[in-house]
Structure 1
């Protein structure tokens, strides 16, 4: 998103800063921060305008954006706090000008300057993993309509979860996977991360799972081998088939919103605690890798992280784990190389 395409209320707020005599450099910094946020928000839209998406943003989305800044942009804490402050001021302005009655950013707290360990609620336990995988493989609590399309979606959904749980991919890395990155012959995935490219070697069961999902896609809408087609394809529940983008002349890419919704629905179907997300699965992967004795530098490379800062909370967490938590995190359900 360019500055000129900002929503109207953002232009109004920036003009207000100018009238108040803020320095040009300060306003420019605000523009940069807003551009980063609204680019991210535009990827979260659910058919609504960006203005409507801002006005209806949830507390969960606010936290997702903060996580995005830490995990994918790898910003330092002070930078994240600065961006959060800019968005908080924008939210307060929107309330004052009656653009909206309330806004989560106006009442959210900035991340602490001093990093703290992860709470146990921020990763999944081995029992939760076991229950989640069993749910993904079962037909428990499915409607007749869902049962009709279950054979097409079962392998896809489980493989998506395994990408986070067994290989530590970010949500965006999973969404962005293309057929050029999927190497079925060698059982590897080439990840084009922001920091560097890296290869992930799939276990034999996960390799079979990925290929099973691929073969289930009807041939007319199936991603083409060695092409830039998305590997994870959106599904049309009304037509009961995978979707094709006629504008781009290739399968319709599955969105991060759709993945989040799938996980949320499967968590509810499995009667697991609310709030379990891709990040919870990824957190378990990182803690598991560190507990196995892998060097921080090696785990960073596996995850494509650019700086030790993004890892600091995980290292702090390892130091604070109880013996019971350590034992639980060392369990790796369903991973057989």
Structure 2
């Protein structure tokens, strides 16, 4: 399965090559032009009729992870976070380091040895270490190096009623969707952007949007789903299984109102479940796309994702399928004059 292959690939921000190579092989037969730009973005173009405006559809390849900071005298690896990671999820996780994917376990002082006040606080990442089984600094340095990227090890599992658990579903769900969209034919020219470094500052999308300068833009994402027992509306952000989430505004973007209305209209006319994202916290590549050059009308659709930015992201397959269907119809029905 495509999503499984993408989720299990390693692509911490700034080190997306493994994911990019996989995507490149998948899209090659369906596109007219392929560019890998200097920052690492994969940009592919599928030509439409010349008299129609171009649309950029984007998803980011990178995932949150870690980086080797130092190796101590006993061979334990110290690390830094890459992207927004909650320190509380780190203890006891299995990870893989560098191109050789050296396995390790994130460890901490045993609870038996902690002082009473230490037990009351979540351990910070600088209090943790990765145990790779080395007995000395010299032994560890034969396996890993300072600056090596570290990704989580997490099996892709389908469970419950149409649920998927895996790492990096933010935003491999968007990548999988964009690959599938490129297999279809549209009247408009599609620039598909598989962006780098979204998790560390929307860097890839910024340069790609400037390069392409499309008439319109659609961002495909995964977003926070916190529909748990201790959260009431409107604080849940999105709910699993109630369709793709349409953003009205977030901390980086006020989304184009006409594009938002068009998405809602298409969803209603085709009986596609959709929900409005209930919070404005966070952001995505739209934050730099919509302000590029003279401005690019932009809309963002997202698959709700529980436990986002962790090794156990959870999505509902129906939300994915509904979003893919909705974006397909949007690309078939978008007209620039209706938006601007």
TM range (shorter): under 0.3
With the length of structure 1 as denominator, give the TM-score of the two structures.
0.25
With the length of structure 2 as denominator, give the TM-score of the two structures.
0.25
The structure in which a higher percent of residues are helix is 1
